[in-house]
Amino acid sequence: MFENKETTKLSSYGEFGLIDLLTKNVKPRRSSTLKGIGDDAAVLDLTAGKTVVTTDMLVEGVHFDIMFTPLKHLGYKSIVVNLSDVFAMNAMPSQVTVSIAVSSRYTVDALEELYAGMLMACEQYNVDLVGGDTTSSMSGLMISVTAIGMAAEKDIVYRNGAKNRHLLCVSGDLGGAYMGLQVLEREKAVFKENPEIQPDLSGYDYVVERQLKPEARKDVAEMLKDLQIQPTAMIDVSDGLASEVIHICKQSKVGCKLFEERIPVDHNTNKACEEFNLNPSSAALNGGEDYELLFTVKPEDYEKIKGHTEIYPIGHITDVEGRYELIPPNGESVELTAQGWNAFGNQE
C-alpha cells in the first residue's frame, strides 16, 4: 500500500552508527535541557515547577499496522500521544526520550522516516529529544516514548477532582480517528484481495488524518487560563469518551449524566459512519484515539464557556457514585459502559 522505500539494510549499520544517524539533527532548544543525547544520561533542570512523567508504548500489530501507517506519521503520533498525557495534567511538556526495538525487516531509510516524524513533532510542540535506547527485536517494531513536563503545583489537574454539578466538557469532535481506522482497514482488505487496486482515500482526508496524524491539545491549557478556569478534573481521550468519563467518575467517586446529542461529531465523521452503517455516537463513545481533552469545570464557570466554539459541554457530574448515565435525544437514560481499548483482549 503505502510503500516505504527500501534501500539500506539495518545490518549494514552498527548500533552506534545507527544512533548517530538517527539523532544527527537533534538540537536541544530548551534551557531546562542541560545535556541531551550523547552521554550516559541526559541532565535536566526542572527546578521551576513540579515534574510530570509519562510513558506510552506502541507495538506493531497491536497499536499500529505498518501496511497503512506511513512511518513519518507513526513517528509524529508516537510523540504526540505522550505529550497529550502531559497536557491532560495541565502541564507543559519539555523533554522526551525514545526507545525503539526493531527487526531486521526494517531499513535504515524507514527508521530515518520514523525519526523525521518524531523530530517534526518535537519541533511543533517545542520539546527536546534528550535520549533513548536502540535495540533489535525478533519481530516487528516497538516504540516506547517517555515525556517529561513541568507545571506549578497549583495548576496540576488530576482525574479525581470532579464534584456534583460540575460540567463535563470536551475540547473537540470525537469518533473521527476511529472512522479513519475503518477506512484504512477497508482499503487494506481491498488491497489484499487485489494488489493492483491502489488505496482510494479521497473524500476521507479528515478522518484519515485524525487517525494517522493526531495533534495534542496544547492550546486548551492556554485557553482555559485565558478564561480564568481551573478544571477540576481532566483526562485525554485516548480510549473513547465512555471509558474516559468513567475514569474521571471512578477516581472522583461520583456519577454522571452525559447527553448524547451534545457529543460533538464532525460532519466528515458522520458521513463515514453513514457509509459504514455505524452509529456516530458509538464511534465517539467507544472509538478512541481522538486525543481531545475531557475535563470538568465548576458550575459557576459556565458563563465563561457558554458559546465558546472550542469547549463543548456534554453533560454533568452527579453525586450518585457509580451511576453513569447516557441520555439519548428523546429517550430514557441508559447505562454508560466502557468498552474502550482492551490491550489484552484483541489477539484471539
Examine residue 293 and tell whether it contacts ligand ADP (CB under 6 A). Answer: no
Among 131, 199, 287, 340, binds ligand ADP (CB under 6 A): 131
Residue of 117, 132, 240, 288 interacting with ligand ADP (CB under 6 A): 132
Q: For the chain, first and last CA: distance in Å?
A: 25
Does 251 interact with ligand ADP (rule: CB under 6 A)? no
Q: Which C-beta is closer to ligand ADP: that of 129 or that of 305?
A: 129
**Binding status of residue 19 toward ligand ADP by CB under 6 A:** yes
Question: Does residue 133 interact with Mg ion by CB under 5 A?
Answer: yes
Q: Which residue lies nearer to Mg ion by CB, 134 or 282?
A: 134
79 sits near ligand ADP (criterion: CB under 6 A): no
Query: Would you say 141 and 101 are in contact if contact means Cβ atoms under 8 Å apart?
Result: yes
Among 46-54, 62-70, 126-134, 153-161, the segment contacting Mg ion (CB under 5 A): 126-134
By CB under 6 A, residue 134 contacts ligand ADP: yes
Residue 77 C-beta: closest distance to ligand ADP, Å: 16
Q: Is 71 in the site for ligand ADP (CB under 6 A)?
A: no
Is 38 one of the binding residues for ligand ADP (CB under 6 A)? yes
- 40 scored as a contact of ligand ADP (CB under 6 A): yes
For residues 98-117, which are near ligand ADP according to CB under 6 A? 98, 100
- Residue 181: contacted member of Mg ion, ligand ADP, none (CB under 5 to 8 Å, by partner type): none
- Provide the residue count of the chain: 348
- CB within 8 Å of 179: residues ≥ 6 apart: 207, 210, 211, 269, 272, 273, 276, 278, 283, 287
Q: Which of 6, 45, 133, 205 binds ligand ADP (CB under 6 A)?
A: 133
Question: Could you give the angle at the alpha carbon of 77 between the alpha carbons of 258 and 31, nearest 5°?
Answer: 105
* Cβ closest to ligand ADP, residue 38 vs residue 299: 38
Q: Are 262 and 312 in contact (CB under 8 A)?
A: yes
Which of residues 26 and 201 has its CB atom nearest to ligand ADP in the complex? 26
Window of 131-139, 237-245, 252-260, 329-337 that interacts with ligand ADP by CB under 6 A: 131-139
Q: Which is nearer to ligand ADP, 102 or 207 (CB)?
A: 102
Taking CB under 6 A as the binding criterion, the range among 43-51, 127-135, 209-217, 233-241 that sits at the site for ligand ADP is 127-135
* Binding partner of residue 303 among Mg ion, ligand ADP, none, CB cut-off 5 to 8 Å per kind: none
Closest CB 103 distance from Mg ion, rounded Å: 18
Of 142-181, binders to Mg ion (CB under 5 A) are none
- Cα 40 to the center of its chain, rounded Å: 30
| Three state DSSP letters for the chain | CCCCCCCCEHHHCCHHHHHHHHHCCCCCCCCCEEECECECCCEECCCCCEEEEEEEEEEECCCECCCCCCHHHHHHHHHHHHHHHHHCCCCEEEEEEEEEEECCCCEHHHHHHHHHHHHHHHHHCCCEEEEEEEEECCCCEEEEEEEEEEECHHHCCCCCCCCCCCEEEECCCCCHHHHHHHHHHHHHHHHHHCCCCCCCCCCCHHHHHHHHCCCCCHHHHHHHHHCCCCCCEEEECCCCHHHHHHHHHHHHCCEEEEEHHHCCCCHHHHHHHHHHCCCHHHHHHHCCCCCCEEEEECHHHHHHHCCCCCCEEEEEEECCCCCEEEECCCCCCEECCCCCCCCCCCCC
Q: Does 55 bind ligand ADP (CB under 6 A)?
A: no
Q: Does 28 bind ligand ADP (CB under 6 A)?
A: no
Comparing CB distances to ligand ADP, the nearer of 96 and 216 is 96
> What does the binding site for Mg ion look like in residue numbers (CB under 5 A)?
133
> What does the binding site for ligand ADP look like in residue numbers (CB under 6 A)?
19, 23, 37-40, 98, 100, 129, 131-134
